[in-house]
Each structure stands twice: as structure tokens, then as C-alpha cells.
Structure 1
């Protein structure tokens, strides 16, 4: 008898667990922008070897969450206005096209699922659970992109997920943002429900442009660290 070709799913490795812990710690503001990341201290906090810590730091650098400075070593990457502007520009383009495609193809089941996502986002804002807001917002967009059959575009968005979530951590803590987010996402959903591709595209782009304005103001005023402390 030939051996089975079934691929056994491996257990999560120590490196993957450490990576998840460090990524979450940065997004939840345990480590703030500009904080030095000392290998020896991280080994003790994470309970892993220096080799694992180095691998994790290299991976987080590829995600844009960490940067290495000459003669200083790794630090939590500092968000700058130019990088943020580029990320929002990419988001506006991709999310606008995905919303339009989704409006053209969505059935009642997908509309219901998107509506449930927004309801959960509202609840998370009410509970001030910003971690859940980030996860649920990502889930909403994943369903919108896949519903619009924009698979490659979603892969591009996923490659920017860590940096997008850093910006979300900054903006969702701003005053009254919860109410605004839900209203803006409801506008996107209304256009999708009506199969109004043009309207969905405009609503999606307007949402990104609104949050880009908020981020621009906060970064320009040097409020990043303060906002992150509130988000945590």
C-alpha cells in the first residue's frame, strides 16, 4: 500500500507563538513607537532563546513594525506621515474597487454577514475593546474583498495588515470614532445592498479619506504615543 499523501498540520512552533506575542504587544501599545527592543530582556519576558528572539525581530521588521537603527539596534518603528499617507492611498484604491465589485456580485447572504460584522464592531466599540475592533474590521474587509472576487487585491492588503492595524490602533482611540466608523461602514453596506457599485466605491473611499485625515492630524500633533496608551 502506498503511503498517504495527507499533510499533517504541525503544532504551532515556539517561534510562531513568540511572533504572535510580540506583534500583539506592539499593536496593543505594550511597546510604544521608538521603544528599544533589547534581546536579553525579550528572552526573559518571552521565555525563549536569543535565536528565536532574533528570528521574531527580523520577521517583524519585514512587516514594518520594527526598524533597526545604526548603533542602537531594533526599536518599535515610528509612524511617519508620508508612510501613513501611502498606506491610506493604497487602501482607498483597493477598498474602493473591492466595494464596487462586491456591490455588483453580493447576494443576500453576504449582505447579512457584512451587517453582522458591523453590529459586532459597534458592540466592540461600546465595550471599548479596541483589539476586537481591529479583528472585526479586518473580517469585514476580508468578506467584502472575497465577496467581490478580489482575491489578489486582498493578498496585497494582507501584506500591509500589521501596518494598517497600527494606524487603526491610533485612530480608533480618537474621540467619537466608534460612532463615525459604524456610520461610514453602514454607508458602504447600504450601497452594496442596493447593488450600487459606484456608490459603494465612493463610500469606501470616503471612509478611508476620513480616517486618513484623523491619522494625519494625530501624527502631525505628535499624539501617537498618547493615543496608543488610551487604545491599550
Structure 2
């Protein structure tokens, strides 16, 4: 079809396992792809970066071919930064992401002070009709990373302020996909992105929350595949 590789970047507090359902779809195709653990996450033993910019710099060092970056949540911020640094990024997909992902100070305080991941924040990450079995899987995933890693991720999201200017500089196709029940990204994300992105398409998938990548993986894959095929 084409020589582009798909590079998947997970979100804050996550690991490459968050893409497990999408991986099943990808394995039925001949698409070349890479799903990675970000530094300091899952099986990646390196230290957690101190900023979104540092995440991007480290991953950019490993990109030696043309790619489409697909980033979920914090992974989208990192994708924006990488795309602004190298011409090897030919397209960018933001899934339940934006050029800024503010985190309320009270959420950071809870993440830092409570022994367990805050239940209210956990439940708010999924749509109302989420499969209970998926929720149980996801509860186990909460502890794949240390508490310090999770706090640092959300702090990095809160501190990232350069996304808007970086998106305005991009001259590559950008696809933003949202879950209709996502409560975690800014309510004005779509209109703000429309104001600054040059080559933007927006898709919305009904009945999914912030973890659209798990809740509606088949629908999501069809949107990603259609975007990928435009590069043929």
C-alpha cells in the first residue's frame, strides 16, 4: 500500500497494553507498525522524562523512517512535539487529545497523596456503557507503572504550553478523533484545533469515553485505516 510506518504512543500512566485491542486489528493487515512503551513505562527501563518536550526528543532519536504518529491523550502531545521536530512525520492522529491537556490541581493532589488511583477519576475515563469486564482489566493496568510515574505524567501534561504554536506550524495531515463521552479533554478542544490546524479532519465516535482506544477499537481502527489509505 505504502511505505509509511504507524507509530503508536500511549497516554499518561499507561503502557503499550492500552493498544491491545487495536493491535488485534492491525495484525490482520500488512501494515507496518510499532507500539512502544514510553520511557519509564511498562517494560521500558529508562527514566521518565521531565517534560513533554523531553519525551519527544528521546523518541525522535529513534525515528529513522517516514511515520504516521498515532497518539492517545498525552501521547498526542508528544506526537505534536515530534512532528514539529522532524520531516519524517508525514501525518498525525490525535485520539482523545489536544494541543493542551490541563490537569486540575486537585486531581494532581489526589494522585500524589492517595495510596490508590482515585476512583472518581478512573470511572470518568470511560463511557457510560463501558463493558464491566474491560473495567476490571483496566483496574489491574493501573498498577503497571509506579505512582511516581503516573504523577509525573500528569504533571508533564499540565505543564505543557507549547502545543498551540507547534500545531500552527505543522503542514501535514492531522486527524483528531474524539469519544463523544470524553470528560477529560477540554470542552472547547475541537473549535480551538480548527482555529490553528492547517490540514485538519475531525471524527467523533459515539458512546466512548477517554479510553476510546479500548471501548470502540473496531470503529477506531476503521478511521485510522481510512486516514492511512489517503497516503497511498
TM-score by length of 1: 0.24
Rg (Cα) greater in structure = 1
Structure with greater helix percent? 1
Structure with greater strand percent? 2
